[in-house]
Amino acid sequence: MAHRTSPVVLLRRFLLNVILRLSAIALVACLAMILVRYAPGFETDDRDLDPALGAATRNAIHQQRLAEGSLTEYARKLASGILHGDLGVSVALGTPIRDLIAQRGPATLRILLTGIALAWIGGLAWSLGLAICRVPSLAGLSVLASAFLLCLPTAAVAALMLNVDWPAQMVLALVLLPKVFQVTRGLITQAFEHAEVLAGRARGLRTTRLLGFYVLPRIAGPMLAWLAATVGLAVGAVVPIEVICDVPGLGQLAWKAALARDLPVLVVLTLLVATLIQFSSSASLLYQRGPRS
């Protein structure tokens, strides 16, 4: 008989999970601030390379930067910014960070959603196609192709696709595709070796029927967990893709903020990314806890 968990236990577990995630995000924010503030190049400024500026002016710039970069002061500002909802002001652009995120967020979100969806549709179709066709040469070719794609850096794939005018979301899909293929192929192969499926095959059930009724329901849970993991991969890949494909998104903003040593923007973006990944990985945790409860 299936054991049912009481709603109180479920609620407690959910709240504990949320508290853990939020504290992890707060810790990430603290770490990001410490990391950026004490990086060896924090006190240097792009204007240091301007020959028109004299020693006194450079010194004044450094002093101003040090005053702005006080860790406690910045933590206080960030907390009040979050509470007020404007998230602080960009040092390099002089714009509220909330506005920058509102301007650039939709482009990144579009790339992420379309790229992940395309990669999963493509990867799953590829693996299922191979499972249905069962042509060894095609399987070999697919493994080779995915291995080749896995051996290229994301930025190189983006630069190559720039030559054939591929949009950024397609580039992201191409970057994620081999990983998704590898995972789904592994899961499908494993599921096909299961006794239940073997018995079905022995009784002469068609592959499509086996896939629909035995294999796919079996691999749905792990696939959901992997879908959550893909979000982390996609967020990491979106930075070089946006920089190379010149897409005005959050990845490009992070890049520009890093080059301009814009501490407020960097910390807020790190926080945003950590939040996204923390909550997307909750899906995989839910899957892991599911069978036990």
Partner 1 sequence: MSPLRACGRSLSSGQEQAKTPAPQRRINRLQALWSRPLACVDFRHRRLRITAIAVLLLFAGLSIGAMWFAPDYATQNRDCIQQNPSWKYPLGTDELGRDNLSRLLSGLRLSLLLSTLAAACACALALLFGAVSGLAGGFVETILLHSINLVESVPWLFLFLTVRALLPLNVSPSASIWLTFALLAALGWTHAARVLQASVREIRHSEALVYARACGIAGWRLWVYQALPGLRRVSLTQFTILIPTFILAEAGLGLLGLGVSEPLPSLGNLLRQLEKPELVHAHPLVLTPLLVLLLVILSLRTVSGDLEVTA
52 phi/psi in degrees, rounded to 5: -70, -20
Residue with tokens 């070999």: 140
* The pair of three-digit structure tokens given for residue 109, joined into one six-digit string: 């979100």
Does 229 bind partner 1 (CB under 8 A)? Our answer is no
What would the two tokens of residue 287 be? Answer: 């899957």
Q: At what angle do helices 216-245 and 154-162 cross, to 10 degrees?
A: 70
Please select the residue that binds partner 1; options are 14, 22, 48, 293, rule is CB under 8 A: 48
Does residue 278 touch partner 1 according to CB under 8 A? Answer: yes
Residue range at the interface with partner 1 (CB under 8 A); choices 5-13, 50-58, 64-72, 273-281: 273-281
CA distance linking residue 46 with residue 35, whole number of Å: 19
Hey, which residues between 251 and 270 contact partner 1 (CB under 8 A)?
254-255, 258-259, 261, 266, 270
Count residues binding partner 1 (CB under 8 A): 62
Count, residues in the chain: 293
Q: In whole angstroms, what is the distance from residue 215 CA to residue 204 CA?
A: 15
Stretch that binds partner 1, among 63-71, 79-87, 114-122, 133-141 (CB under 8 A): 133-141
Euclidean distance between CA atoms 233 and 150, whole angstroms: 13
The binding site for partner 1 (CB under 8 A) comprises: 24, 27-28, 31-32, 35-36, 39-42, 44, 46, 48-49, 135-137, 139-144, 146-148, 150-156, 159-160, 162-163, 182, 185-186, 232-233, 235-237, 239-240, 243-244, 254-255, 258-259, 261, 266, 270, 273-274, 277-278, 281
